[in-house]
C-alpha cells in the first residue's frame, strides 16, 4: 500500500508568484488548464496500490475544499487537504501528520513538492526504490543547457512532426548548469545509485545533478525526522542549562518542530547506504515565478499529446477557430471562428475571445474578455480582465527575466488600441495609454 503526500506550502510561501498568488493559492493556479497541483495528483494515479493522497499546507482549508472533493470523485482515490497551524518545513510538515499517514499502514510514502513541473515517473521510481532497498529514493536530473528530444506523433504529417519536434527541443531547454545552485546538488555512485553527498543550494559548484523534489520513502523516514527533532530539543535544553547561553537571545533559525527535508535529513544521511537516486531523462522545471508558469504550461500541454489528447483543442473541432500547436480551451469559453490561437495557449472558464484575435504563448484566466483583433503574446491575463479592440499585450518571452512575460492581475482593463509590452500590471488598473517595461502598482 502506498500513500502520497504533496507539500503545497502556504500563503507566506509563493510571494515570488505575485500578483497571481493574490487571488488564488499558488498550487491552484492553472497550468495547461488544470490546477498546478492537479499534475502531480494525476501522476499519482499511475502508482499501483495507491490508497490515499494528502495535500499538506498551511492555507485555509476552505480554499482547497472544492478542488479536493471534485478530484477525489474524478480519480476514485481519496484526496484530502490537511492543514498545519504554522509552517513546519518540508520534513516537519510531513512528520506532523505521521499518525494519519500511518493509519493506512503504507509500505511506502511518496512525497512530492507541489511547485515542480515534470512527468513524475513514480511507478518507475518505486520499482527502482524496491531494487535499491534503502530508506529513500530521490528523483534527480542532470542539468544541461539543451536536450534534444524529437517526438513524433503519428497522426501529424512529417512536416508538422518536425515542427513539433523543434518546439520540443526549445521547450526542453532545462535549467542551466549556472543556475544549478538554486537547487539541492548531489553526487551519487554511478553503479549503485547510492546518494554519496548532498548540499542544498551551494554557493560553489558541487555537481550537475540536482534534486527534483520528488521522493519515495519507507515509513522509516518518520524515525529519521524524529531523530532530528529530538537532537534539537536536547541541544536547546543543554543551551538553557549553560549559563552563557542563558544570557543569549533565543535561537530563531530552527524553531522546534521545523525540519527541512533537504538540509536536515538528506545531507546528513548521504553516504550511509540509506538514500538512492533515480535519474529522469524527461522534462523538469521549478515553478517559482509567473514567467515559469507559462513555460511549464507549455510542457504540460506538450505532455497531453501523449497522456490526455482529448484535452487539446483541434482546429476542426466545435470552436472552429484556427488552432496552431498545443492549445487548451475550457468548454465554457467562447472563441470566435476567425481567431487564431496557439501554440502554448490555455483559455479558462467563461473567457470570451473575439473575432480576429491572435493568441500566442499565453494563459487566459477565468471570465477574461479579449475584444476584436487584439493580440496577446507571452502574457498571462488575470481573472475578469478585458483587452480592448486592436490592443497588444505582449513580452519578449524570456521566462526567467522579471519582465520577460507580461502579467495582468485580476480585473485589469486595457482600453482599445493600447500597447502593453514587458510589463506587470497589478489588479484593478485601467490602462488607457501604452506602457513598456513598467510595473504598474
Ligand atoms: N506544508 C508545507 N509546510 N509545505 C512546505 C513547507 C512547510 O512548512 N515548507 C516548504 N513547503 C513546500 C513548498 O511549497 C514546496 O512545494 C516544497 O515544500 C519545497 O519547498 P522549500 O523547502 O521552500 O524548498 P525549495 O523549493 O526552495 O527547494 C526544494 O525543492 C527543489 C526542487 O524544486 C529543495 O528540496 C531543493 O533541493 C530542490 O532542488
**Residues 377-398: tens digit of each pLDDT:** 999 999 999 999 999 999 999 9
Report the distance separating Cα 61 and Cα 67, nearest Å.
Answer: 11
What is the arithmetic mean of pLDDT over 300-307?
Answer: 96
Provide the pLDDT confidence category of residue 170 given band limits of 50, 70 and 90. very low
233 pLDDT higher than 80: no
Which residue's C-alpha comes closest to atom 5 of ligand 1?
A: 9
More confident residue, 213 or 13: 213
Candidate of 6, 7, 81, 292 to mutate for ligand 1, largest count of ligand atoms within 8 Å of Cβ: 7
Ligand 1 center–CA 39 separation, angstroms? 17
Strands of the sheet containing 413-414, edge to edge, are 334-335, 352-353, 369-370, 386-387, 413-414, 430-431
Provide the pLDDT confidence category of residue 34 given band limits of 50, 70 and 90. very high
Burial of 111 (0-12, 13-18, 19+ CB in 10 A): buried
What is the reported pLDDT for 174? Answer: 54
Q: What DSSP designation does 127 have?
A: H
Provide the pLDDT confidence category of residue 231 given band limits of 50, 70 and 90. confident
Which residue bears the cell 500590471?
A: 425
Closest ligand 1 atom to residue 210 Cα is 39
What is the reported pLDDT for 246? Answer: 54
| Bridge partners of residue 375, in order along the sequence | 358, 392
160 pLDDT higher than 60: no
Q: What is the H or E stretch that residue 94 is in?
A: helix 89-96
pLDDT of 337-381, one tens digit each? 999 999 999 999 999 999 999 999 999 999 999 999 999 999 999
Contact 24, 36 (CB under 8 A): no
What is the arithmetic mean of pLDDT over 243-264?
Answer: 68
Report the distance separating Cα 265 and Cα 247, nearest Å.
Answer: 30
High-pLDDT (> 70) share of the chain, %: 86
Provide the pLDDT confidence category of residue 256 given band limits of 50, 70 and 90. low
9 pLDDT higher than 50: yes
What is the arithmetic mean of pLDDT over 147-163?
Answer: 41
Q: What DSSP designation does 420 have?
A: E
Distance of CA 81 to the CA centre of its chain: 17
Which residue's C-alpha comes closest to atom 11 of ligand 1?
A: 9
What is the arithmetic mean of pLDDT over 91-112?
Answer: 97
Report the distance separating Cα 368 and Cα 382, nearest Å.
Answer: 7
What is the reported pLDDT for 76? Answer: 87
Residues with CB under 6 A from ligand 1: 7-9, 13, 56-58, 84, 87-90, 93, 113-116, 183-184, 200, 210-213, 260, 262, 286
What is the arithmetic mean of pLDDT over 166-195?
Answer: 73
Mean pLDDT of the chain: 89
Q: Measuring CA to CA, which residue among 145, 151, 143, 144 is closest to residue 167?
A: 151
Which residue bears the cell 499517514?
A: 101
What is the reported pLDDT for 249? Answer: 53
428 pLDDT higher than 80: yes
- ipTM of the assembly? 0.99
Report the distance separating Cα 349 and Cα 359, nearest Å.
Answer: 16
Closest ligand 1 atom to residue 89 Cα is 8
Q: Look up residue 121 and give its three cell numbers.
A: 515517473
Taking CA 385 as the corner, what is the angle to CA 325 and CA 292, rounded to the nearest 5 degrees? 50
What is the reported pLDDT for 167? Answer: 43
pLDDT of 183-198, one tens digit each? 999 999 999 999 999 9
Q: Which of 175-179, 267-271, 370-374 has the lowest mean pLDDT?
A: 175-179
176 pLDDT higher than 70: no
What is the reported pLDDT for 248? Answer: 55
Residue 44 CB partners (closer than 8 Å, separation 6+) = 4, 50, 53, 77, 110, 112, 120, 122
| Bridge partners of residue 6, in order along the sequence | 55, 112
Closest ligand 1 atom to residue 258 Cα is 8
| Bridge partners of residue 2, in order along the sequence | 50, 108
What is the arithmetic mean of pLDDT over 260-270?
Answer: 96
Report the distance separating Cα 352 and Cα 418, nearest Å.
Answer: 19
Amino acid at each position: 500500500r502506498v500513500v502520497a503526500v504533496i507539500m503545497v506550502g502556504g500563503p507566506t510561501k509563493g510571494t515570488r508568484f505575485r500578483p497571481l498568488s493574490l487571488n488564488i493559492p499558488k498550487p491552484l493556479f492553472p497550468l495547461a488548464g488544470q490546477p498546478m497541483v492537479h499534475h502531480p495528483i494525476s501522476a499519482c494515479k499511475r502508482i499501483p496500490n495507491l490508497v490515499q493522497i494528502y495535500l499538506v499546507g498551511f492555507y485555509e482549508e476552505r480554499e482547497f475544499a472544492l478542488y479536493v472533493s471534485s478530484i477525489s470523485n474524478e480519480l476514485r482515490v481519496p484526496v484530502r487537504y490537511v492543514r498545519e497551524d504554522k509552517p513546519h518545513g518540508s520534513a516537519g510538515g510531513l512528520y506532523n501528520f505521521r499518525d494519519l499517514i500511518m493509519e493506512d499502514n503504507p509500505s511506502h510514502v511518496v512525497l512530492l513538492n507541489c511547485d515542480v513541473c515534470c512527468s513524475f515517473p513514480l511507478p518507475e521510481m518505486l520499482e527502482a526504490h524496491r531494487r535499491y532497498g534503502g530508506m529513500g529514493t530521490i528523483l534527480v536530473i542532470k542539468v544541461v543547457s539543451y536536450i534534444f528530444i524529437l517526438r513524433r506523433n503519428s497522426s501529424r504529417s512529417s512536416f508538422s512532426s518536425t515542427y513539433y519536434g523543434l518546439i520540443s527541443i526549445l521547450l526542453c531547454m532545462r535549467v542551466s548548469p549556472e543556475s544549478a545552485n538554486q537547487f539541492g546538488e548531489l553526487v551519487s555512485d554511478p553503479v549503485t545509485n547510492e546518494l554519496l553527498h548532498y548540499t542544498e543550494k551551494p554557493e560553489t559548484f558541487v555537481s550537475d545533478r540536482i534534486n527534483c523534489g520528488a521522493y519515495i520513502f519507507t515509513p522509516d523516514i518518520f524515525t529519521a525526522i524524529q531523530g532530528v527533532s529530538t537532537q534539537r530539543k536536547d541541544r536547546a535544553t543543554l543551551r538553557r542549562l549553560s549559563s552563557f547561553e542563558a544570557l543569549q537571545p533565543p535561537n530563531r533559525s530552527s524553531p522546534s518542530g521545523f525540519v527541512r527535508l533537504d538540509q536536515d535529513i538528506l545531507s546528513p544521511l548521504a553516504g550511509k547506504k540509506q538514500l538512492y537516486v533515480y535519474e529522469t531523462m524527461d522534462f523538469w522545471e521549478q515553478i517559482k515565478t509567473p514567467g515559469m508558469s507559462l513555460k511549464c504550461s507549455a510542457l504540460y500541454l506538450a505532455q497531453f499529446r501523449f497522456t490526455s489528447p482529448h484535452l487539446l483543442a483541434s482546429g476542426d473541432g466545435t470552436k472552429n477557430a484556427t488552432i496552431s500547436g498545443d492549445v487548451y480551451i475550457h468548454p465554457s469559453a467562447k472563441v470566435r471562428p476567425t481567431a487564431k490561437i496557439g501554440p502554448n495557449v490555455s483559455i479558462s472558464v467563461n473567457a470570451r475571445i473575439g473575432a480576429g484575435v491572435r493568441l500566442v504563448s499565453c494563459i487566459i484566466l477565468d471570465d477574461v474578455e479579449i475584444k476584436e483583433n487584439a493580440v496577446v503574446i507571452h502574457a498571462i491575463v488575470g481573472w475578469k480582465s478585458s483587452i480592448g479592440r486592436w490592443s497588444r499585450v505582449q513580452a519578449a518571452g524570456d521566462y526567467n527575466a522579471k519582465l520577460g512575460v507580461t502579467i495582468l492581475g485580476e480585473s485589469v482593463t486595457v482600453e482599445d488600441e493600447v500597447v502593453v509590452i514587458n510589463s506587470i500590471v497589478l489588479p484593478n488598473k485601467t490602462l488607457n495609454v501604452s506602457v513598456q517595461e513598467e510595473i504598474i502598482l
